[in-house]
Amino acid sequence: MRNFSTNYFRFFLVLWMISFGLSACKVWVQTENGNQKATKEIVFTVSPEKNVVPTATLSKTPSPTPSFMPTYTLTIKPSATNTETLTPSPTVLTCWRKGGDINSMTLKTEQLRLPLDYLVYTPPCYEEESKRSYPVLYLMHGQSYTEAQWDRIGADDAVDKLVLAGEIQPIIIVMPHDRYGGEPIKSNFGKVIVEELIPKIDNEYRTIPDREHRAVGGMSRGAGWAIHLAIVYWESFGALGAHSPAVFHTDAQRMRTWLDEMREFGFPRIYVDIGDKDRPEIMRSAIWFADLLDEKDIPHEWHLFSGYHSEEYWQAHVEKYILWYTKNW
């Protein structure tokens, strides 16, 4: 009768442990003298459900005095599961909304009678992102104007807007003042830009100091300077923007030779535009330059927009200009 009761109890104890999903247990029975002993280790194999993280196991904690049923403590052992690493979505830094900064600077040089004044635009978050380096755009103003012209028509505002919208990468803009006039053969302005200003900017600002990350552009007479700089100093600029260009007469005489010499080194990207109501002499200059590029089979963009030779025209297109300059950056 005692053996029957013992076996009967074992049977229900095993059923009870299976119902709680135990992975292993020991069955304890009471001997005739009242002591406990382990008679057999019974192991149950449980197939875990997919994606179930914790697995419950039972560990025995002996009681200080003999008792019929031992005390059990539930221990949770996490099992390995596939976890997905989440990448934070891009966030707009607060400093991006504040826009960039413009500083007025001066370069003293022995190559010019007076110091070279220039403006430097640094993009949003320039100070906060201290390990970041930037492409540089050099912009030349029109005749009888100053280094402030590109700022006035909104070049820096366009960069602020496009950076905030995520349409372009932030850039640095340098706007030098050509106060002397005249053709390049009678002015050291171009030499100062390449030989002194560019090294100074690369030394004092976090630029990417190579041809592919440096562009030059200008409007009217400033476009003439941009053409001169990009063709004569081809190793310095990877992109050229000529907006309503007035090509210098002395440059026109040598332009074919310069372009032929450049071919083995590679041409910069070139963008030419003009308003359909521009002054006749400026229109002839722009068409002559674009036709020469066609003649030499040099890739370029030509745009004839509606407008005059005016700040209103350039201001209406300044955002297009910035998008083009930064296209490969």
pLDDT at 160 over 50: yes
**In the prediction, which pLDDT does 103 show?**
97
- Using alpha carbons only, give the angle 51, 86, 83 rounded to the nearest 5 degrees: 20
DSSP percent split of the chain into helix, strand, coil, nearest 5: 35, 25, 40
pLDDT at 124 over 60: yes
> Band of the pLDDT at 101, cuts 50, 70, 90?
very high
Task: Return mean pLDDT, the chain.
Answer: 81
Lowest mean pLDDT among 10-24, 86-100, 185-199, 224-238: 10-24
Query: Rounded distance, CA 79 to CA 161, Å?
Result: 50
- How large is the average pLDDT for residues 229-246? 97
pLDDT at 43 over 80: no
pLDDT at 79 over 50: no
* CATH domain 94-325 topology: Rossmann fold (3.40.50)
pLDDT at 40 over 90: no
Query: Rounded distance, CA 245 to CA 267, Å?
Result: 18
Q: What residue segments make up the domains of the chain, in order of their start?
A: 2-78, 94-325
Joined together, the tokens standing for residue 211 give 């041809």
Q: What is the DSSP letter of 31?
A: -
Query: Rounded distance, CA 102 to CA 172, Å?
Result: 10
Of residues 87 and 185, the one with the higher pLDDT is 185
